[in-house]
Structure 1
């Protein structure tokens, strides 16, 4: 009998978790990538990474057909939003379980997503689409400063900035349209949005079920770089139910409800306001935190769905889990980073990971790429988790030497 393979189209921060979960389920993971070198860290695990044009559906169909001569393809998926609609099309071609590609494509276009949510009466920020600098200024004047500028298609807060005044608006518009930002769409499309203030929450959903709601904290504006996530969020029953109800409305409106969804909110006096609906699994550290807090392994259960096996979303316990991101405080060369072993040895610390090695250049982007590591902690109480997390983070330290300036 042919060995059963799980095809992964490209990957994200949680790629290793997908590979490990697939292996635990007795599957042979195979990665299709335009740049297999990205996954060299998996070579020691004996994981196949095959070069393929992942932007070309026909090329992917051809590669999967070739692999089918050797393996039984149990399922096809991706840990990356930009390839999730393609995965849906592949699954339909090969008659495998998968997401609705049309729904994914609509949702990944933030402007289309906003239109559909607004038509359904779901609370969202005031918004406007701009394609040039004049449009941006007109939209901002209509909505009222401060506003958030973001690419209409994108992930990880790349290109997202809070603009308090006209000067900041002009400067960031020039950045987005001046050739420095890499657009994922055929032409620049900027979403100008009302800045909604209030606590940030995110709902992690599988199918139609809200598995958990976490709270997030950001670093200083004007960027939206996450500093910490905590599960579960400290919500009243009424607040939890309102977020869950709005989440269900979003799924119905956008035609989602197959597999994972992550919905971001700001909570105001008038109730939860939907900031974004992400039609895919959230990246690290959300899956780890949900597993530690509730005992539900979202990635394993997602793969079960992908291969047509029954899943199990039952909670096994109720703990508090939190992750703190280590964020570079300046641009320059990372001289050294350490203390991770001591931090990892503290009882309650589940994971300490450093992303950047010494002697690596560090250039802050104002998005998730500013992270240089993370610490994850879990315990039976919120207070204990926060205390342990701070103790562990305090043990990790680093030094960055600024880049030489002109004339030095």
Structure 2
């Protein structure tokens, strides 16, 4: 297959390229694109493209699909997902398939507040959460999320800019600077996990791999390790439940942390490959198997990819 991967300079893109560099994937032709100049030994072609916020990004990708005879597009940049999902639904990349869920499901997963609401309705464990415009002062926000919280943009577009705050200690001027269109979550100080899920077409069983993020690391980098299937199985079950609650298909990257009492809760859900997919090669293998079947005459499984 001719496979175009976006965001190859980012952590998720680099994790995919590391897998395609392996001999067992050498029969695939990989085209890498990014907003920055691209160079990687796993790439057969490299192209620079506009950011998702630019009006000509879709036209540029469509041109590359035709020029390189692309069969499949695998996006790895969060803010690209809504744009690519809508363009794929409009057949802008036909006949190439795009590994992205339906536009409506992508929109929810890219809105962190709506994600929390839907997970709450589905009884998926989450931290307490709120939005600043619901509160007149820090005191009422303490009642909603506690005195140690995390604030981040509500939408996935642009830098994530996560920071910790202590609402009960905030001066009035600091409270005014919090702004709107952000999400506040109860701070979860415990173990951190990055489970990965693949939800296949039809009634095929899903694939779930749990990765633990470790404290420390050289130069501030965070170390990670893949966990055996029988270690923290509840984390995998919660991640799978979150992906299903949002109606997602294909690869899903989930972020979980444990609250002070040890309960794991979902912090975010991304409808794409994550930064640690090289630790879960069976997820890419499962996707490629389904895509290969989809490209064979007479077979068209619903991958959730348009």
Pick closer, same or farther for the CA change 1:15–1:249 going to 2, 3 Å: closer
Pick closer, same or farther for the CA change 1:67–1:203 going to 2, 3 Å: closer
Aligned to 1:264: 256
Aligned to 1:232: 227
CA distance in 2, matches of 1:10, 1:27: 17
CA distance in 1, matches of 2:119, 2:170: 29
Structure 2: give runs of 5+ residues left out of the alignment: 201-205, 295-306
What is the SS of the residue equivalent to 2:292? coil
Aligned to 1:151: 153
Pairing 1:7-406 to 2, within 5 Å after superposition: 7-11=4-8, 12-19=10-17, 21=20, 24-31=26-33, 33=34, 35=35, 38-42=36-40, 47-52=45-50, 54-56=52-54, 59-92=56-89, 93=91, 94=94, 96-100=97-101, 101-131=103-133, 134=136, 138-154=140-156, 158-164=160-166, 166-167=168-169, 177=179, 188-207=180-199, 209-218=206-215, 227-232=222-227, 239-240=232-233, 242-266=234-258, 269=261, 271-283=263-275, 286-288=276-278, 290-291=279-280, 296=281, 298-299=283-284, 301-302=286-287, 304=288, 308-309=291-292
TM-score of the pair, normalised by structure 2: 0.72
| Higher strand proportion | 1
Structure ID, larger Rg: 1
Structure 1: give runs of 5+ residues left out of the alignment: 178-187, 220-224, 312-408
Q: How far off is 1:254 after superposition?
A: 0.5
Q: How far off is 1:297 after superposition?
A: 5.2
Q: How far off is 1:111 after superposition?
A: 0.3
Q: How far off is 1:133 after superposition?
A: 8.8
What is the SS of the residue equivalent to 2:214? strand
What is the SS of the residue equivalent to 2:223? strand
CA distance in 1, matches of 2:71, 2:175: 45
Whether contact under 8 Å (1:143, 1:194) holds in the other structure is yes
Whether contact under 8 Å (2:187, 2:259) holds in the other structure is no
Which structure carries more relative contact order (alpha carbon 8 Å, separation 6+)? 2
